């Protein structure tokens, strides 16, 4: 018995996890694909109606879908660009041997582990136009009070600000780990050649840090596209539809309007979008590694 | 030259403090507001100087029954992490040992794809078999968040573990499974701690799955705090107190076990 187990250990150890993932993910996604071919509102009186690719055709003509797609990219783009720049700058700053720096690095971890929903609600109070601290803060610089998430044009940047607060620390953390793995003799050699610290940053630190930052960016892009908690907690996609991203739209179609077939077609497109972005970035990363 | 250096260092240090304070500010604000009355929050007085009240916390525990939600969240997070480890530890060991990268990749896909793309089938199936508003459905759903992460962390842990110990056990006549349970598992504690803390935090923080799958009986903390918004007049103080109740345990755990949290977040992202 023990021998038989040993001979097949590879399968015995892995099978439970694979089965679990298959039952919980692969089968449901297949099911979503199947439902997406029906018109179905989960009512007991009306049976699902076969519409073939009708839902997809309808989706591609739905202005609400296209706006949600655009907003998803807009939100992701602002968040990622700011997070990458800010994250790397702070990492370089934190990488100096200053007294007590470890305490600051530890405190810096907190935004990314805090419960997003509760943090979203704290930011709701911060952004509150009349009593919130955000308007008081910009008031100190002589700026006029803003509407923040209550304004259709400011809501996405405001939500991105919360995302930036939450996730810049992750970029910093990963960049810090990357910085410590850069061999010191690079800098010593450059110093002997009389390079300034500015030159060393551009010629040594940044190029050697790039693969690490790239991995961090990959993880962040995938998560930013899927951002749900803070948006749902703070605006539920409002005001109007001004902050409705694909995730939020899919959720409302499915669980508020119960248009299960239509929602499923959107979720399938969203699924392929995320998968596409991930593979694209992985390929790009391989290219960069080859170049180096 | 030397004094100039000292001044740059001091300036940089001030900058570090300023940045940290800015990033900590929402927490400070949350904590302060949780001790304020509604009138104090709505007024334009000083943010920092006020007469503190514990009334908000009393409201949260007495009127909103948060002990119950804390229990729900703890139970789901604990059990989903535990079952995730039971499935994930042997799997990650075998994947590392037999270099099954394709398989590892397919399990990690679960980390990438949007959770919402399988929510509708889950909801349909779980309501058909009567699992909506049960702990089981939440635990299964949260395992899906924890498991890929556990496997991810543990694969790189087992890849970096020296093989000698395992081999000497094998020479002494131990089977592979025997060596795994008796020798490797005890050695895996640091990796297990890293994987479990983060799996626990992910489950504790999870909102979307519980939003669909939980009900009155099994409501977890994120759902409970969100339902504060459904009242027409938001009780800001109590809302902030509830946010503190959810967030504080996670912050304390992170501060105490920060070394493990850091290695969990950076694993895989830095090429060694």
Residue A130 belongs to domain with CATH number: 1.10.3720.10
B240 in A contact zone (CB under 8 Å) = yes
What digits encode the pLDDT tens for the residues B159-189?
Answer: 888 877 777 777 777 888 888 888 888 888 9
Question: A173 versus B103: which is more confidently predicted?
Answer: A173
3-class secondary structure, B249: helix
Going by DSSP bridges, is the β-strand pair A38-39/A49-50 parallel, antiparallel, or unpaired? Answer: antiparallel
What digits encode the pLDDT tens for the residues B204-255?
Answer: 999 999 998 988 889 999 999 888 887 767 888 899 999 999 999 999 999 9
At B271, the pLDDT band (50, 70, 90 cuts) reads: very low
DSSP 8-state symbol, A39: E
Radius of gyration of chain B (CA): 23
Mean pLDDT for the stretch of residues B25-50: 84
> Which two three-digit tokens encode residue B125?
């199936």
Kindly list the residues from chain B whose CB atom is less than 8 angstroms away from the CB atom of residue A178.
270
pLDDT at A289: 66
CB contact under 8 A, A215 and B201: no
CB A262 within 8 A of CB A55: yes
pLDDT, mean over chain B: 86
According to DSSP, the residues that pair with A38 across neighbouring strands are: A50
Quick check: bond before A239 cis, omega within 30?
Answer: yes
Residue A29 lies in a domain: no
Domain coverage including residue A109? 66-291
Residue A187 lies in a domain: yes
pLDDT at A171: 92
Beta-carbon contacts of A218 under 8 Å, excluding residues fewer than 6 positions away, are: A278, A281, A282, A285
- Å from B218 to nearest chain A CA? 18
Residue A30 lies in a domain: no
pLDDT at B269: 57
Assess whether pLDDT exceeds 70 at residue A67.
yes
B177 in A contact zone (CB under 8 Å) = yes
Assess whether pLDDT exceeds 50 at residue B63.
yes
CB contact under 8 A, A14 and B121: no
pLDDT at A6: 79
> Which two three-digit tokens encode residue B189?
């504690």
- Å from B199 to nearest chain A CA? 11
Mean pLDDT for the stretch of residues A188-213: 84
Q: What percent of chain B has pLDDT over 90?
A: 37
pLDDT at B166: 77
User: Side-chain half-sphere of B108: how many Cα atoms within 13 Å?
Assistant: 18
Domain residue ranges in chain B: 65-230
CA distance A108 to A102: 10
Q: Which of B103, B109, B251 sits opposite A114 (nearest CB)?
A: B251
End-to-end CA distance of chain B: 38
pLDDT at B1: 53
Closest residue in B to A251 (Cα–Cα):
B116
Nearest to A246 by CA among A229, A230, A223, A269: A269
Instruction: In chain B, count H helices and then E strands.
Output: 15, 0
pLDDT, mean over chain A: 87
pLDDT at A169: 93
CB A164 within 8 A of CB A224: no
CB contact under 8 A, A14 and B243: no
Residue A157 lies in a domain: yes
CB contact under 8 A, B268 and A247: no
CB contact under 8 A, B243 and A122: yes
Q: Spell B205-226 as b/e; 16+ CB within 10 A means b.
A: bbbbbbbbbbeeebbbbbbbbb
What's the pTM? 0.90
CA distance B45 to B43: 6
The CATH code of the domain at B65-230 is 1.10.3720.10
pLDDT at B272: 33
At A292, the pLDDT band (50, 70, 90 cuts) reads: low
CA distance A103 to B14: 14
Beta-carbon contacts of B156 under 8 Å, excluding residues fewer than 6 positions away, are: B267, B268
pLDDT at B96: 86
Closest residue in A to B262 (Cα–Cα):
A173
What digits encode the pLDDT tens for the residues A94-134?
Answer: 888 777 788 888 898 899 999 999 999 999 999 988 888 88
3-class secondary structure, A49: strand
Residue with the two structure tokens 């899906």: B144
CB A39 within 8 A of CB A262: yes
Assess whether pLDDT exceeds 60 at residue B46.
yes
């Amino acid at each position: 018995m023990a021998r038989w187990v040993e001979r097949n250990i590879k399968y015995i150890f892995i099978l439970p996890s694979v089965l679990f993932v298959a039952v919980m993910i692969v089968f449901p996604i297949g099911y979503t694909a199947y439902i997406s071919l029906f018109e179905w509102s989960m009512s007991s009186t009306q049976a699902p109606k076969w519409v073939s690719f009708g839902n997809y055709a309808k989706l591609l003509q739905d202005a609400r879908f296209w706006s949600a797609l655009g907003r998803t990219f807009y939100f992701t783009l602002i968040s990622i660009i700011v997070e990458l720049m800010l994250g790397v700058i702070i990492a370089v700053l934190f990488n100096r041997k200053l007294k007590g720096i470890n305490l600051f690095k530890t405190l810096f971890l907190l935004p990314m582990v805090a419960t997003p929903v509760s943090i979203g609600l704290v930011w709701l109070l911060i952004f509150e136009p009349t009593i919130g601290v955000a308007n008081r803060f910009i008031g100190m610089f002589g700026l006029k009070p803003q509407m923040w998430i209550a304004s259709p044009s400011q809501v996405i940047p405001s939500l991105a600000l919360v995302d930036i607060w939450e996730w810049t620390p992750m970029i910093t953390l990963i960049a810090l780990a990357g910085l410590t793995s850069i061999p010191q003799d690079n800098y010593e050699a450059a110093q002997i050649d009389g390079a300034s610290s500015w030159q060393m940053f551009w010629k040594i630190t940044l190029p050697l840090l790039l693969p690490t930052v790239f991995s961090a960016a990959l993880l962040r892009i995938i998560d930013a596209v899927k951002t749900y908690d803070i948006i749902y907690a703070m605006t539920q996609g409002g005001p109007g539809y001004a902050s409705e991203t694909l995730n939020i739209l899919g959720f409302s179609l499915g669980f508020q309007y119960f248009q299960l077939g239509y929602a499923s077609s959107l979720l399938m497109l969203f699924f392929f979008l995320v998968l596409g972005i991930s593979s694209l970035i992985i390929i790009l990363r391989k290219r960069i590694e080859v170049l180096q | 030259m030397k004094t100039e250096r000292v001044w740059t260092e001091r300036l940089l240090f001030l900058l570090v403090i300023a940045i940290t304070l800015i990033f900590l500010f929402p927490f400070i604000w949350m904590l302060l507001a949780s001790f304020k009355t509604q009138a104090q929050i709505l007024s334009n007085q000083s943010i920092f100087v006020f007469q503190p009240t514990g009334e908000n916390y009393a409201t949260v525990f007495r009127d909103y029954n948060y002990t119950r939600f804390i229990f729900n969240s703890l139970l789901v997070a604990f059990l989903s992490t535990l079952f995730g480890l039971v499935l994930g530890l042997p799997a990650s060991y075998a994947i590392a040992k037999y270099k099954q990268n394709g398989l590892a990749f397919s399990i990690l896909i679960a980390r990438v794809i949007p959770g919402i793309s399988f929510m509708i089938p889950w909801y349909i199936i779980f309501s058909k078999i009567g699992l909506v508003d049960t702990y089981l459905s939440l635990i299964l759903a949260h395992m899906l968040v924890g498991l890929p992460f556990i496997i991810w962390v543990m694969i790189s842990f087992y890849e970096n573990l020296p093989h000698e110990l395992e081999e000497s056990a094998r020479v002494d006549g131990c089977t592979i499974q025997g060596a795994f349970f008796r020798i490797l598992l005890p050695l895996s504690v640091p990796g297990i701690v890293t994987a479990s803390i983060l799996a626990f935090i992910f489950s504790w923080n999870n909102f979307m799955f519980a939003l669909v799958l939980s009900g009155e009986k099994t409501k977890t903390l994120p759902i409970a705090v969100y339902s504060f918004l459904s009242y027409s007049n938001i009780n800001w103080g109590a809302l902030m107190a509830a946010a503190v109740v959810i967030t504080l345990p996670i912050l304390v755990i992170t501060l105490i076990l920060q070394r493990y949290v850091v290695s969990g977040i950076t694993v895989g992202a830095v090429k060694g």
